[in-house]
Structure 1
């Protein structure tokens, strides 16, 4: 996480539980939220218990684990077990980047503008050449 992700060349796709301990530790070391977890998750709950197949306890265990997560008790436990556990939990909705605008940073915009002008001139010339031949013709309307 500190090497390839910090260099902004990779993204890590892994289980949520692996990173809820790493993010607070990173924040404690740097006092910045350099890493964020995505808003969408692919695992339904961060809790798991193992029982025998078709166990009578399975519905009760599922109900208890869903209740713990949905009531926020699991997040509360994480807050008390790991210092700074909620600091970098959700990414900001808007990220502002302050850069100095110069010709070096805007050359792409001017290239697109120039290509647009060239395409417009080519289309105009084609309309004049192809459309001019038809303007000279007289059309007859059948009665």
Structure 2
């Protein structure tokens, strides 16, 4: 509608802000920017999960390497010393095999210190759940099986379609795989609340609209179910439009500039949209307090097995 000169002759100015684009500036005038937004991606937050490689986290790779080298060194020393053939009477008179007890004692002491450190750190790490947020850029969208929602006829769709190469071109090509769908602006909330909430769809649009939806969802449910990807794809200026040469445009521009410089726009946004910043930085880790269950009973079994082996070694030595 904004590309038609007839539209500019029928009204004095637009009531809502429009995206400022080069084709639109040829037929209408814009005021000073009311707000500058970025194109962002909204995705469903994953469920907390335990890191499958969490048993390696208590020690750094260098420590694990030192333990392995120490184990090989101890075994090698035992093999080397036992391979020495000494007369039996000499062994009995001099007590040549005392070194076995020394090696065993030092090794048991070192393993006891390492084991206590390991179990303490492991129990702490088991109380931490990681919240997966895998999609953070356009490349992640292409690599994942999700379907993309875009505004029909929007400037974001135009930027993707006109891109000749790169990640934006790859996202535009998803339409040939059935993974790109166009939706009307009035259906955005419905798509977010149904398809995106399931986790198999994402939506790309300006972050102002997305932040408002996330704030409303947080106010209703008391929890953040969505997150915004780190990638900011395209900065967009939004301003009030009017006919070419309209005397209202300069006057509105001066007033808009004063409002923005006074900080009233940010104040009104927070006042009219509570919790608008509550889900902008959702946590990636959460602490869980629960009793020992069947899933982590293996830790207790490990303690029992270690105690049993320690007693056996003491008895044999």
Q: TM-score, normalised by structure 2?
A: 0.25
- Higher strand proportion (structure 1 or 2): 2
Structure with bigger gyration radius: 2
Greater relative CO (CA pairs within 8 A, separation 6+): 2
Q: Which one has a larger percent helix, Structure 1 or Structure 2?
A: 2
